[in-house]
Structure formats: structure tokens, C-alpha cells
């Protein structure tokens, strides 16, 4: 039987990561869901896709973010939701790198409605990427050690939680 301290501590660390990542998605989605037109403009500001496509992405994205947040919060298929989170985060970071290299002056629209920056406001691409790397680390913890406390996964697997 494995009863070292390490194996007892990991589920708790993973639980923190799970709740943290859930909060990230819930907040990110909540800041956009009230104004989908603005969310569409934030996607459009990256100039990666046509406005019609941006409109669809801008509409779908906040709902996906909230969906992921809820799924992580209740702990359903944690490894899969962490993997999907990681994929999304990588896509977002790629978008920021693109905006950076193209010299666009935009707000990343990560936790806001984004859009073009006013005069005198600086872009914060480096910080945005660092922050996303932090979130990616949370997803990484869950991918590596998906067993967490207080999760539906745990209840269904018949583990004491």
C-alpha cells in the first residue's frame, strides 16, 4: 500500500489546481457573456479571421469557457477537461503572439471585452502570455495527477473523498 505523504498530498494540490482553473474559466466567460457583440469585436481585433467568423467565435467562446469552468468545478472527467483547457490556452497564447508580432495595439480580451487600445495605453502581451503560462501549469498539474478531492470523478470511481 502506498501511504507516503507525497501520494496523500497530491490530490489536494490537484484539487487546488482544479478549482483555480475553474475560476479562471468562469471569470473569463462571465466578463464576455453579457455583450456577445463586443466579444465578437474582441476576436475581430486580432485580424485573424473575417468578421463573420469572429462573430461566431465571439458568441461560442464565452459559453465554452463557462461550460469548462463548471465541469472543472464539479470535477467531471478532470483529465479531459484539463486537456481541453490546455489546448484552448495554447490557442489563446498563439493569438497573443500573433498580435504581438504583427504589431497590433489591442487588449488581449482575455478577461474583458478587449479591442483596440486607446492612445497612451500600452500593450501587455508579455504579461498576458506569462499569465496564460501560469494557467497552463494548472492544467498541466491536472493532466499529470487528475485525482482530486471533492470531485464527481472521485465519487463515481468509488474513492473516499
CB of 103 closer than 8 Å to CB of 47: no
Pick the binder of other proteins from 14, 15, 44, 148 (CB under 8 A). Answer: 44
Residues in region 96-125 near other proteins by CB under 8 A: 105-106, 113, 115-120
Nearer to other proteins, 20 or 112 (CB): 112
Cα separation of 104 and 115, whole Å? 10
Residues in region 53-82 near other proteins by CB under 8 A: 54-56, 58-64, 66-68, 70-71, 76-77, 80-81
CB of 152 closer than 8 Å to CB of 74: yes
The neighbour count for residue 8, using CB atoms within 10 Å, is: 10
Cα separation of 84 and 139, whole Å? 9
Nearer to other proteins, 23 or 64 (CB): 64
- Minimal distance, residue 121 CB to other proteins, in Å: 10
Residue 131, classified by CB atoms within 10 Å of its CB into exposed (0-12), middle (13-18) or buried (19+), is: middle
Torsion of CA 98, 102, 108, 113, to 10 degrees: -120
- Minimal distance, residue 156 CB to other proteins, in Å: 4
152 contacts other proteins (rule: CB under 8 A)? yes
- Minimal distance, residue 39 CB to other proteins, in Å: 9
**Which residues of this protein are in contact with other proteins, per CB under 8 A?**
34-38, 40-41, 44-45, 47, 50-52, 54-56, 58-64, 66-68, 70-71, 76-77, 80-81, 84, 105-106, 113, 115-120, 152-153, 156-158
Amino acid at each position: 500500500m502506498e501511504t507516503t505523504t507525497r501520494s496523500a498530498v497530491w490530490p489536494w494540490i490537484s484539487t487546488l489546481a482544479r478549482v483555480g482553473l475553474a475560476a479562471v474559466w468562469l471569470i473569463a466567460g462571465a466578463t464576455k457573456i453579457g455583450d456577445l457583440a463586443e466579444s465578437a469585436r474582441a476576436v475581430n481585433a486580432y485580424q485573424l479571421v473575417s468578421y463573420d467568423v469572429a462573430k461566431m467565435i465571439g458568441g461560442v467562446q464565452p459559453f465554452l469557457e463557462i461550460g469548462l469552468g463548471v465541469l472543472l468545478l464539479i470535477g467531471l472527467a478532470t483529465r479531459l477537461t484539463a486537456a481541453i483547457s490546455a489546448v484552448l490556452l495554447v490557442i489563446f497564447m498563439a493569438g497573443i503572439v500573433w498580435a504581438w508580432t504583427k504589431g497590433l495595439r489591442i487588449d488581449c480580451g482575455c478577461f474583458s471585452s478587449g479591442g483596440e487600445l486607446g492612445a497612451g495605453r500600452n500593450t501587455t502581451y508579455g504579461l498576458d502570455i506569462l499569465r496564460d503560462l501560469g494557467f497552463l501549469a494548472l492544467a498541466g498539474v491536472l493532466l499529470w495527477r487528475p485525482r482530486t478531492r471533492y470531485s464527481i470523478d472521485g465519487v463515481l470511481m468509488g474513492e473516499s473523498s
